[in-house]
Amino acid sequence: MLVVLECISFINKLRILNMNKSSSLMATIKDQSGAGKTKIGEILSKEGQITSIQLDEALNIHKKTNERLSTILLNKGYIDPDTIINVLNRRYNYKVVKFSDIKPDPKILKILPYTMAKTGMVFPLALKKEVLSITMVEPTDTTVVEGLQEKTGKTIQAYVSTENDVIQAYRDYYKISDEEYKSFLQFDDDPEDDEPVTSVEDFGSLVSEAAEEMELGYTEDDVKDEFMASDAPIIKLVNGILTKAINDGVSDIHIEPFEKSFQVRYRLDGAMYKAMNLPTSIKNAVISRIKILASLDIAERRVPQDGRIKLRLGKKKSIDFRVSTLPTLFGESIVMRILDQSALNVDLTKMGFEVSTFKTLQRCISRPYGLLLVTGPTGSGKTTTLYSILNRLNKEDIKILTAEDPVEFNFKGINQVPVREEVGMTFAAALKAFLRQDPDIIMVGEIRDMDTAEIAIKAAMTGHLVFATLHTNDCPSTIGRLIDIGIPPYMLASAVTMVLSQRLSRRLCPNCKQLVTGHDPNELELQGFLKDEIKNLKIYGAKGCPNCNGTGNKGRVGLFELMEVTDEAGKAITAEVAEDQLRKVAISEGMVPLRDAGLVKVRAGEVSLEEVLKKTTITKEALPAYLINPDVEKYEDKDVIIREGNTDIDFFKLIQGGLYVVKGGKKIAEINQPGDYFGEMSAITGEARSASILSKGRSKVKRFPGDKLTEIIEKYPEVAKHMFGVLAARLNKADQQFVRMLNQIKKTNTN
């Protein structure tokens, strides 16, 4: 009996202990969240994030499939990926965990294995004593938290993360397979009437079929092309051209008619290659089919047209094409830009920034206001860089407005405005309207004129963070371009935070890149490499393999030059120094030139030397500011520029007018040639002035610091050569005068 009583007592104690643990857990959950056992659906409904109808629909699916309510709402498009974490953080004090900001301890993964973690969409973060910190998609689900506490024997501290972040963490840290990763992304689409586009296996047979129908079925008129464009072979052929381009990973499709040929070319990694030749007999039908898909006027062939195609691939993916037609001599040329948002890289950390450049970029975009410019030629990735920056800054408490021509990709949480110049909706008009919309961040697709530039500058100077693109070669030339547009230099120095210039370079295929030898050391030094590193330098080049379609290159990487407008750079801009001098100032302030950024990629074996030489230029050291932009002085008639007997050592250059040389109160010579230097003898000898220099009428001269003369002679021989050329000419003239004086004295004495 005593034993039974002891057992009962032990069981009661154990029950009380478990109850205390459970109540402690519940108290912890309630204390940290305030949400208790409230389900996430109810929370979102009360917050107005979803309607009651949407909640009921999601609950019905949840009962049938047992899928997480958050996943159902996300897949239906009823909520954004950040909705749950923002609500739980703002209203229930759940701390948000972003894996980009932390690095979980790998040892914790053994405490919470993947099979246990995935059931509740949970990921372990850290273990401190007996408290296990986890992050999860639905931390209000106390059933999951209780289960984890029982299985691990640890007290649970719950945080919240987005579903995408948790899934990506599974991939990065649990190293799940691609199949397992894709299983998280599967969901049923709503049924649609239109059939998804499929690929074509035999283009040759399809083209032959289309050509035969063209020859047999119709007469030669415009009606034929319209009907032919709706025939099955043409539809399949066009769909095949589009899907092949997507599968091959190209960026652009070029359909070009010529007199005796009709070709399709693809642009892959920035380089064009011919994909197929088509019969000229079907060119009008193919072009008409594309124009029908893009909702363009197939009867209008005299003017360019722009449109857009939305293509479904399978049940879960759709891709947009930006279509441009151009009338040519032998028909309409069509270029289609592939806009695949799923393939869009908007992660700044994966774009190829050097460490120092990336740190500077982070510092610049974190400022509350200023103008940030991204420059480069067409196709250099400017828009992608801006999208990446905006994606990084896109938060619930930030309002972002963009003006684009056209809007290529749609981003949730960003108000994107298409520019329509035909109706007066220009960049300038959009900017004016933006300032009345209470924005935090503004993005201007391109600065093209004075109005747009002026409004962007004023917005940046009144508390807004403004991003814009510009077509210039590099960072220093961007400032000159804005000055040419009409923006005063002092405003640029105050408003511009940074200028980012970029190029896209083809990345070497990692499977087949090969070591290239036989480079001339002198040539390498001229191309920008250091003399000391050339001996041990390894340079790789392209070879070609099936993985890269024989090109030797696979993908592209960015080359970046970032000029931060520091105090010193701002002073140089205000002083309107020459482009070369501004570049020198920027380099001294930490800017890595494009060529140097490219050579870093060459050293790392990422890109070929030929690719860098093709995309960048080397810049010679600029002349110093005192030579490029010396002080200009103006004098009236008889004004003294240099006084005899003084010990100053500055030297001068005549720009305009004329000068008298006076010694002992007597005029002994004149200087009348613009470009002539004078006053340099005191800088050379250090002795007092031997004569005075007076202005002959109105004159204009440039003053150079005498203490820099030795530096000029050593570092800038071309300048010194000109200076001493003038000095030699003057001494020669003086010598001739001296000889004439001697001859005159001899003649007088003889007489």
Q: pLDDT by residue (tens digit) across 261-313?
A: 899 999 888 888 888 888 888 888 899 999 999 989 988 889 999 888 888 77
Spell out a b/e string for 726-742, using b for 16 or more CB atoms within 10 Å of the CB, else e. bbeebeeeeeeeeeeee
Res 88 pLDDT > 70: yes
Res 170 pLDDT > 70: yes
For 222-278, give the secondary structure using H, E and C.
HHHHHHHCCCHHHHHHHHHHHHHHHHHCCCEEEEEECCCCEEEEEEECCEEEEEEEE
Q: pLDDT by residue (tens digit) across 708-745?
A: 887 777 766 666 776 677 667 766 776 676 677 777 77
Question: Which H or E run includes 117?
Answer: helix 114-117
SS3 30: helix
Lowest mean pLDDT among 196-210, 385-399, 447-461: 196-210
Closest CA to 58 of 86, 37, 39: 39
> Could you tell me if 472 and 482 are in contact, meaning their C-beta atoms sit under 8 angstroms apart?
no
The Cα 472–Cα 446 span in angstroms is 12
pLDDT confidence tier of residue 17, bands split at 50, 70 and 90: very low
Res 193 pLDDT > 80: no
The Cα 574–Cα 488 span in angstroms is 8
pLDDT confidence tier of residue 24, bands split at 50, 70 and 90: very low
Sequence-distant (6+) residues with CB within 8 A of 640 are 692, 693, 694
Which amino acid belongs to residue 77? G
Give the residue-averaged pLDDT of 174-197: 62
User: What does pTM read for this prediction?
Assistant: 0.63
* Count of residues making up the chain: 751
SS3 321: strand
538 CB-contact burial (10 Å; exposed 0-12 / middle 13-18 / buried 19+): exposed
Q: Beta strand 514-516 with 465-470: parallel, antiparallel or unpaired?
A: unpaired
Q: pLDDT by residue (tens digit) across 171-184?
A: 888 888 877 877 77
The alpha carbon torsion through 386, 392, 395, 397 (nearest 10 deg) reads: -70
The Cα 364–Cα 499 span in angstroms is 10
Res 91 pLDDT > 80: no
pLDDT confidence tier of residue 33, bands split at 50, 70 and 90: very low
Per-residue pLDDT, 265: 93
**Unique residue bearing structure tokens 């009709």:** 262
140 CB-contact burial (10 Å; exposed 0-12 / middle 13-18 / buried 19+): buried
Mean pLDDT of the chain: 81
Give the residue-averaged pLDDT of 76-88: 80
Per-residue pLDDT, 540: 93
Q: How far apart are the first and last CA of the chain?
A: 160
Q: pLDDT by residue (tens digit) across 546-562?
A: 888 788 888 888 999 99
pLDDT confidence tier of residue 18, bands split at 50, 70 and 90: very low
Res 375 pLDDT > 80: yes
Per-residue pLDDT, 519: 86
Half-sphere exposure of 263 (CA within 13 A, CB side): 10
Q: pLDDT by residue (tens digit) across 662-685?
A: 998 899 888 888 888 888 888 888
Which amino acid belongs to residue 694? L
Give, in degrees to the nearest 5, the angle at Cα 372 between 368 and 378: 150
Res 659 pLDDT > 80: yes
Per-residue pLDDT, 162: 84
pLDDT confidence tier of residue 637, bands split at 50, 70 and 90: very high
The full DSSP string for 195-217 is PPB---S-HHHHHHHHHHHHHHH
Res 30 pLDDT > 60: no
Which amino acid belongs to residue 271? A
The Cα 589–Cα 566 span in angstroms is 7
Q: pLDDT by residue (tens digit) across 218-273?
A: 444 444 454 455 567 888 888 888 888 888 888 899 999 998 889 999 988 888 88
Torsion region of 29: left, alpha or beta (phi above 0 gives left; psi -120 to 50 gives alpha): alpha
Token pair for residue 355?
């460490």
Give the residue-averaged pLDDT of 584-608: 91
The DSSP symbol for 469 reads E
The Cα 516–Cα 528 span in angstroms is 18
pLDDT confidence tier of residue 23, bands split at 50, 70 and 90: very low
Query: To the nearest whole percent, how much of the chain has pLDDT over 90?
Result: 21
pLDDT confidence tier of residue 620, bands split at 50, 70 and 90: low
Which amino acid belongs to residue 31? D
Closest CA to 672 of 729, 630, 628: 729
Res 576 pLDDT > 70: yes
Q: Is the pLDDT higher at 190 or at 122?
A: 122
Give the residue-averaged pLDDT of 646-673: 89
